[in-house]
Amino acid sequence: MKRIGMLTSGGDCQALNAAMRGVVKSLIFSGEQIEIYGFLNGYQGLIYGNYRMLDVSDFSGILTRGGTILGSSRTPFKTIRQPDENGLDKVESMKHNYFKLNLDCLVILGGNGTHKTANLLREEGLNVITLPKTIDNDLWGTDMTFGFQSAVDIATNAIDCIHTTADSHSRVFIVEVMGHKVGFLTLNAGVASGADIILLPEIPYDIDKVVEAIDARKKRGSRFTIIAVAEGAISKEDAKLSKKEYKKKLKEATHPSVSYRLADEIYKKTGQEVRVTVPGHMQRGGGPCAYDRVFASRLGAEAGKLILQGKYGFMVGYKNREVVKVPLEEVAGKLKMVDPNSSIIKEAKMLGISFGD
């Protein structure tokens, strides 16, 4: 008998349910007897002992379902060692609930912050296996995270839909794509949708270079310009500021986001009408695309195999088109970012895409 705890933490995304289903189905078809304890709303469920027993039927029909059947929440790693408002030691409480249920392991699905806490629990003596989810694809140790491709499809469709109205009205359109620190989502959606300018957190932009690219399109007879902007895009001017100075500037900003600031600057420099579209949390929503269904199922099956083998302390990742296990200590606290010198950036520039640099 294997007694397994399971939780989904951080921002939700597509294929969380598919991944959990993959874990459970692989264990069922191995012939192993299992009990599944689903902790509700992420680490909050583990901290406060809020869980429910899950039956095999709970994992039926959820392959195509978005969100998470367990609910999720954000429990910042930087406060995980701080007692809650009632003085509860959160780490000790998580350990207590794990051992109280006599769990063989804890399966945790999440992104960067989630993996920091998962590694902490490993260091505290818990058997942990993690699965990499995030629409940002910024998790260290894996070439791909589930949820990413589904979000790329949604962001791409949003930009596709903007093309016709931008052309009709001869406007500059800015589409703001999710991604505070990392630009994989904006980069891939921008290339896929034929965006003319792509602005990423990893490549600080020069507003004059952005305007040059718009003017060059006008001279070639183009009626419109599409700009895909990551919400964490930053100007070269702001990139020179210290972290503290930049945070202060953001607090004092009069524009709701970088996209609106850009729109204002472009209008002042060109006189062209500029519109901003923000797909927002739509990018996290809906059912997973076919790629993510397959990918998450594969990762889940591999996690099930590790449980059967008693191999813990790993994230199930994806390297060079193969599913692999990566030690949690190598993953926690690291961020995978777009390399400005990567082949995809060079190839995008060959296609005439400007990055504002």
Residue 345 lies in a domain: no
Report the C-alpha gap between 75 and 10 in whole angstroms.
Answer: 7
Residue 133's pLDDT is 96
User: In this structure, what CATH number is given to the domain that contains residue 75?
Assistant: 3.40.50.450
96: number of Cβ within 10 Å: 14
Tell whether 60 and 86 lie within a shared domain: yes
**pLDDT reported for residue 34:** 94
Tell me whether residue 350 is in a domain. no
**Six token digits for residue 202:** 């990893």
pLDDT digits (tens, 9 = 90+) for 163-193: 888 888 878 999 999 999 999 999 999 999 9
- For residue 217, the model assigns a pLDDT of 92
Amino acid at 75: T
Residue 325 covered by a domain: yes
Q: What pLDDT is recorded for position 89?
A: 96
- Of 229, 257, 284, the last residue of a domain is 284
Residue 2, pLDDT above cutoff 80? yes
Beta-carbon count within 10 A of 325 CB = 18
What are phi and psi for residue 314, nearest 5 degrees? -125, 150
Residue 170: the pLDDT is 78
Examine the pLDDT at 346 and tell me if it is beyond 90: yes
In this structure, are 307 and 187 located in the same domain? no
Domain count, the chain: 2
Give the whole-angstrom CA distance, residue 61 versus residue 64. 7
For the residues 97-103, what does the mean pLDDT come to? 97
Task: Write the pLDDT tens digit of every residue in 54-88.
Answer: 999 999 999 999 999 999 999 999 999 999 999 99
Residue 309 pLDDT greater than 90, yes or no: yes
How are strands ordered across the β-sheet holding 274-277? 197-199, 225-230, 172-177, 274-277
Amino acid 248: pLDDT: 80
Mean residue pLDDT of the chain comes to: 94
* pLDDT exceeds cutoff 80 at 252: no
Residue 318's SS3 state is: strand
Residue pair 111/133 in contact (Cβ under 8 Å)? The answer is yes
Domain assignment of residue 132, given as a range = 2-147+288-331
Which pLDDT band holds residue 271 (cuts at 50, 70, 90)?
A: confident
- Does 201 lie in the same domain as 102? no
For the cut 80, the answer to whether the pLDDT of residue 199 exceeds it is yes
Q: Which long-range contacts (CB under 8 A, 24 or more apart) does 206-209 make?
A: 206/235, 206/236, 206/356, 206/357, 207/235, 207/262, 207/265, 207/266, 207/269, 207/356, 208/269, 209/354, 209/356, 209/357
Same domain, 142 and 155: no
pLDDT confidence of residue 166? 83
Inside any domain, residue 224 = yes
For 135-204, the three-class secondary structure string (H helix, E strand, C coil) is CCCCECCCCCCECHHHHHHHHHHHHHHHHHHHHHHCCEEEEEECCCCCCHHHHHHHHHCCCCEEEECCEC
DSSP secondary-structure letter at 257?
S
Query: Using 50, 70 and 90 to split pLDDT, how confident is the model at 131?
Result: very high
Residue 255 has pLDDT above 90, yes or no: no
Task: Write the DSSP symbol of residue 235.
Answer: B
pLDDT tens for each residue of 11-24: 899 999 999 999 99
Residues with a catalytic annotation lie at 136
